[in-house]
Amino acid sequence: MSHTVPATLLSAYQFGDLTLKNHLVMAPMTRSRALVEGNVPNPLAATYYAQRATAGLIISEATQVSPQGVGYIRTPGIHSPEQVEGWRKVTDAVHAASGLIFAQLWHVGRVSHADFHGGEPPVAPSAIAAEGEVFTWNGKVPLDTPRALETVEIPGIVEDFRKAAANAKAAGFDGVEIHGASGYLLDQFLQDNANQRSDRYGGSLENRARFALEVTAAAIEVFGAKRVGYKVTPNLPLHSMADGNKLATFTYLAQELDKLGIGYLHVGEAIAGPMAVPEGVERITPHLRKAFKGALIVNGGYDAKSGEQALVEDRADLVCYGVPFLTSPDLPERFRRGVAPNSPDFASFYGTPNGDALGYTDYPTL
């Protein structure tokens, strides 16, 4: 079987002052198992993440920077002392298993509902609702029309991200990833269909990217540039996202992030599976590879063979795996032996009525 071993994928990678044991990154995946009281990480999360410390780098599930950033039930935050304490148990367990873990910092913006905010509407760059539904404690409800943020409020949200980065450091995380993807707040500011502002955060490309760059700079203040990453999903129409010139928009952002010197750019642009970029639509990732000089992480539909290929052909520096890591804590070893990942149980992705361990910490290793 030796010919099937993805040699580059399984070799160590020097990432700034961190040595990753392989080129595999575990994707940030919402699992909806935070404690109901206070959105504190579930004690089981320590086991879940430690099991997957086989990855060169783990990126945590999306983690709210403030109560205003909440849009889903049972998702963890990193803005209260109890949440920081909960995450400390996770990072201790991952480090004890010789792993590395970054926290993904998140604000959902308009992808939320008044149920989460004491009856007040969620916030966004502009008062434009996204299509879709969200689960609140009152069941499934349509997404609310948000209110447009006042210019004077934006520095406060930048500060929320800075505090969240400081909390991540206090909780023992090795770095942070800014969630600028999937139609959440930073993505809403960047793409022109969601941002109809006329102040310094809207209109021109430079203005629409300003908020993202301010947030990134705030995280750099805490961790240093090389311990900060940024995630984008340039061709994902999730939560009604669209832009008049995606190539120009995301290339500009990548160039500006490069100037800030951050450690990596994480690009979710699937090559296979249900989220794959449709035929005839231009892929943005190759352009971002040229625009960004730091490490490029690719994500979406990769297996051992296509991941290895991306590295060998210098299309990426690291490869991110979501569902395969969810189902197979020993994914690198499976790749080494040419063994397929476990099959996913989709019904248990976002918690189950029968207990939090089900489909979470109970997937078997070889």
All domains in the chain, ordered by first residue: 13-348 (3.20.20.70)
The residues near 98 (Cβ < 8 Å, ≥ 6 apart) are: 21, 53
For 43-54, what is each residue's pLDDT tens digit?
999 999 999 999
Please give the average per-residue pLDDT across 107-111, as a whole number: 98
Rounded CA-CA distance 205/252 in Å is 8
Q: How far is CA 239 from CA 27, 65, 109, 346, in A?
A: 20, 20, 11, 21
Residue type at 186 in one-letter notation? L
Residue type at 290 in one-letter notation? K
Rounded CA-CA distance 361/42 in Å is 12
Identified catalytic residue from 13, 49, 184, 201: 184
Rounded CA-CA distance 5/210 in Å is 43
Cα angle: 319, vertex 323, 328; to 5 degrees: 95
Report H helices in the chain: 44-51, 81-96, 154-170, 185-190, 205-223, 246-260, 285-291, 304-312, 323-327, 331-337
Residue type at 217 in one-letter notation? A
Reference 76, options 120, 31, 34; nearest CA is: 34
For 42-87, what is each residue's pLDDT tens digit?
999 999 999 999 999 999 999 999 999 999 999 999 999 999 999 9
For 142-186, what is each residue's pLDDT tens digit?
999 999 999 999 999 999 999 999 999 999 999 999 999 999 999
184 assigned to active site: yes
Rounded CA-CA distance 206/331 in Å is 41
Q: What is the mean pLDDT of the chain?
A: 97
